[in-house]
Amino acid sequence: MSRKQALLKRHRRNKRVALLAGMVVLVLAGVFLAWWVPILLGMLGWMAHEAWFADHLFYSPRQDYQYRFPEGAARLDTLWESGTLSLGEPLPGTQWTVIAQVNVRSTWLGRFLDPVIEIDGSTDKQTFERGCVGLRYLNLSAHGPSLGEGVRLAGRFCRISGTPKLWAFAQPDYREQRLMIIAPHADDAELAAFGLYSGARDRWIVTLTAGEIEAEHYQAMGLGREDAARLKGRLRAWDSVTVPRWGGVPESRCVQLGYFCLQLEAMRAAPQEAVASREAGMADTRLFRQFNPLALPGDDGRPCWDNLIADLRALISLARPDVIVLPHTALDPHPDHIQAHHAVREALQGLEWQPSEFLGYANHLHDNDRWPMGSAHDGVALPPAFDSEAIAWPVSLPVEAEARMNKAMALGMMHDLQPPLPFKRRLRRALQRVLAARRWAVEGENEFFRKAVRRHELFWRLDP
């Protein structure tokens, strides 16, 4: 069982215990008060749950985040006075990721409304868990040039105590290097790195799977389970090779390998065996590879690990990327994301060309399904981390307003992000809008429009 599954199992168990206790209270209220009291209390309890307790938060918000930064990070001497953080002199140049460690304590209202740190007025907002107490890490990368004169940090529904600590991480201009973005599914490249790749000089997008499963939206159109899965896979395969062109990637550098969703782990366990799709009733990848502009070793259609590794070796040798951007296995728990990372590492073994750097990304988290917290177009603070032994080198890249709009439109072209929300989720959002003052992206209904369209794209340098 993965860590994510274990946390979810514990979360559901705790909810069942709380529900049982609540039912006992309702029965007692009906016996000793009046018949209508349990109905009223039940409705109020459900509304409170949907508004304030429906988030999948698998840790206490009163825990400190624990980050250990490497020796190459510059610890900066700061001045902290009347809510303004400043340096003795500005940082040289512009290629820096700047992180501030702050001790945050939510107010009583911060138990019901999301605590926010506003940076330089309302130009940048970074949000934390309701009821948060402890160390958190603000992303001040966009404000590095202003730190010489001072950057104001103001808490809304929270307070900053003590003096913030500041680190700066030097980084090259990644947009001037040859990039290869590894996407386990169509839309992963756009979610994690559209701002990066749309402004890059030389880039490739390589998508590993067709993402054909969970095709209920297409079954509702009257298709059978297998036909719906095949249609969804064809659409997502098309998306993976066409949507990057909205970001300026040439057709010749968009590749879809067509392996089957949630089957990479089984493929790795038996590298020479073909592993069929779970839902599409097929064991041939060629239907989903038909849009590729170049020939690859796996074009015989066998969905096996050896073919995946051969495909990646051929593409890396052809593209010769300086930087490979891929999922971060310590942060992102999705099985296909973990196996995509392992596949790239294995493909590079013994290969003549080696990248100079890896950048890791996380489109999902183990501990917090809502991260990045806050609203679309806000900033991105560092995610929760509780392993004090892990070393982190964050890389924050700015995404300007025009690029954010282009990113939102790219996500809107992705068929998997287009189906409407179910009624229950719409009702939950309505309650959270009224009771918790939350807001969602106007560019699209899917949660990823809120999570991914941000002022920054956040990566981590990984050991090559």
Domain end marker among 148, 170, 192: 170
pLDDT at 197: 98
Mark whether 383 and 438 lie in a shared domain: yes
State how far the Cα of 183 lies from the Cα of 205, in Å rounded to an integer. Answer: 7
Whether residue 63 is contained in a domain is answered as no
Whether residue 338 is contained in a domain is answered as yes
Whether residue 111 is contained in a domain is answered as yes
Mark whether 265 and 339 lie in a shared domain: yes
Whether residue 64 is contained in a domain is answered as no
3-state secondary structure of 304: coil
Mark whether 156 and 93 lie in a shared domain: yes
Record the pTM.
0.93
pLDDT at 28: 73
Mark whether 47 and 83 lie in a shared domain: no
Chunked mean pLDDT (size 10), the chain, 464 residues: 65 74 72 76 85 89 93 89 86 85 97 95 90 96 87 95 94 96 98 97 97 97 97 98 97 97 98 98 97 96 98 98 96 95 98 97 92 96 87 93 98 97 94 95 96 97 85
Mark whether 266 and 391 lie in a shared domain: yes
- Please give the full DSSP string across 67-126, using - where no structure is assigned: -B--TTSEEEPEEEETTEEEESSPPSSS-EEEEEEEEEEE-SGGGTS--EEEETTTTEEE
Mark whether 103 and 193 lie in a shared domain: no
Whether residue 125 is contained in a domain is answered as yes
Mark whether 36 and 127 lie in a shared domain: no
Mark whether 166 and 254 lie in a shared domain: no
Q: How many domains does the chain have?
A: 3
pLDDT at 95: 85
Mark whether 202 and 341 lie in a shared domain: yes
State how far the Cα of 344 lies from the Cα of 324, in Å rounded to an integer. Answer: 9
Please report the sign of the dihedral spanned by the C-alpha atoms of residue 39, residue 41, residue 44, residue 47: negative
pLDDT at 416: 96
Domain end marker among 170, 189, 224: 170
State how far the Cα of 287 lies from the Cα of 210, in Å rounded to an integer. Answer: 10
Domain end marker among 106, 137, 170: 170
* Residue 76 token pair: 């900066």
CATH at residue 412: 3.40.50.10320
The length of the chain is 464
pLDDT at 285: 98
Whether residue 58 is contained in a domain is answered as no
Range of the domain at 135: 74-170
Spell out the alpha helix ranges (H) of 185-334. 188-198, 216-219, 225-242, 264-269, 286-289, 305-319
Q: Are 92 and 170 in contact (CB under 8 A)?
A: no
Mark whether 183 and 163 lie in a shared domain: no
Mark whether 37 and 163 lie in a shared domain: no
Mark whether 361 and 404 lie in a shared domain: yes
Whether residue 360 is contained in a domain is answered as yes
Whether residue 59 is contained in a domain is answered as no
